[in-house]
Amino acid sequence: MLQPPSFRQDSIATSLGTIVYYTADRTTPLAASMPEDQSSQSQPSIVFLHGFGGGSSAYEWSKVYPAFVPEYRVVAPDLLGWGRSNHLTRPYQIEDYLTTIREFLEQVSSTPAIVVASSLTAAFVVRVAVNHPRLMRSLILSAPTGLADFGQPYENPLAQIVSIPGVDRLLYSTAIANPLGIRTFLEQRQFAQANRVSPEIVDAYLASALQPNAEYSALSFVRGDLCFDLAQYFPDLSVPTAILWGRQAQLSSPSLAQRFAELNPRAIKAVEILEGVGLTPQLELPAVTIGVIRQFLAEL
């Protein structure tokens, strides 16, 4: 939940709660030095949407999105139930995110936006794009997965445990929302190389995980309440799309990238498998990720 220099916090009200987002502060000396056409609202919008997991937030893309400020109006929200955005006090459902992502995009940009999204959120974005293609100019998806793709069941050994009332919140506080739990998950499940998990990354994830009622979104994710078969939706996608995937991603196999591409070669224009990274290349190797996104933007 750390905010990059020269970025400010703003918010948008959706039907389910307020979504906080981060965008370039145009009153800074850097913005003031830009040509007039670059510092105006005429820039195309590029929206960075984080994935899900204990402590997720817009911080996930914070090493990447500042690089695009000169050419784009950058927007990076904390999704509903994560970071500084409002947290519901009930289990989350798929429709909650389909609705709030759509409402956010409708309000944050007057023209179709470029959307960069990660993991399960990227899968939600595909569904929103299928039903509301006018909202999106192009998609760049990092390891998109509904976690039950091509008919495979969602599998998580903790799913049944966190379905037990009382046990779920205890597990969240003891195994997830503490420094050791955050670091262990990042090192063992999210990153390909543990030495890339810095104290800053742990602190940012922990700050999000400790927000009041943050357990509702995280436990809904772990239980599998938000999972679905993304393969059912890719054939109907019409928005130009590129897919990137970390070779060592554990929560979802990079082999899915080509399988998804084969479902709709007209819409999916490019696929890139990044070596030596896991589920979040945007945190492990941000400079490489920036280069791949720039390449995709040129192709799309």
Residue 2 lies inside a defined structural domain of this protein: no
Distance separating alpha carbons of residues 218 and 209, to the nearest angstrom: 8
Tell me, rounded to whole angstroms, the distance of Cα 259 from its chain centroid.
21
DSSP the chain: -PPPTTEEEEEEEETTEEEEEEEE-TTSHHHHTS-TTTSSTTSPEEEEE---STT--GGGGTTTGGGGTTTSEEEEEPPTTSTTS---SS---HHHHHHHHHHHHHHH-SSPEEEEEEHHHHHHHHHHHHH-GGGEEEEEEES---BSGGGPPP--TTTTGGGSTTHHHHHIIIIISSHHHHHHHIIIII-SSGGG--HHHHHHHHHHHTSTTTHHHHHHHHHTTT-B-GGGTGGG--S-EEEEEETT-SSS-THHHHHHHHH-TTTEEEEEEETT--S-HHHHSHHHHHHHHHHHHHH-
Kindly report, residue by residue over 44-55, the tens digit of the pLDDT: 999 999 999 889
Residue 172: its pLDDT value, please?
Answer: 86
Is 25 a domain residue?
Answer: yes
In a domain, 238, yes or no: yes
pLDDT at 31 (0 to 100):
52
CATH of the domain at 133: 3.40.50.1820
Range of the domain at 256: 7-299
- 192 within a domain of the structure (yes/no): yes
Residue 204 included in any domain: yes
pTM: 0.94
**Counted domains in the chain:** 1
Sequence-distant contacts of 132-137: CB under 8 A, at least 24 apart = 132/102, 132/105, 133/238, 133/239, 135/102, 135/105, 135/106, 136/105, 136/112, 136/239, 137/44, 137/111, 137/112, 137/113, 137/239, 137/240
Checking DSSP bridges between strand 113-118 and strand 73-77, what pairing results, if any? Answer: unpaired
Task: Tell me which residues of the chain have a pLDDT lower than 50.
Answer: 36-37, 40
CB 194 within 8 A of CB 183: no
Distances (CA, A) of 223 to 11, 120, 139, 184, 204: 29, 14, 28, 19, 24
**What are the CA-CA distances from residue 232 to residues 146, 149, 180, 228, 229 (Å)?**
10, 8, 38, 9, 6
Residue 278: CB partners within 8 Å, gap ≥ 6? 189, 190, 191, 192, 246, 248, 249, 250, 284
Tell me the one-letter amino acid at 196: R
Domain-located, residue 30: yes
131 lies in some domain: yes
Residue 125 covered by a domain: yes
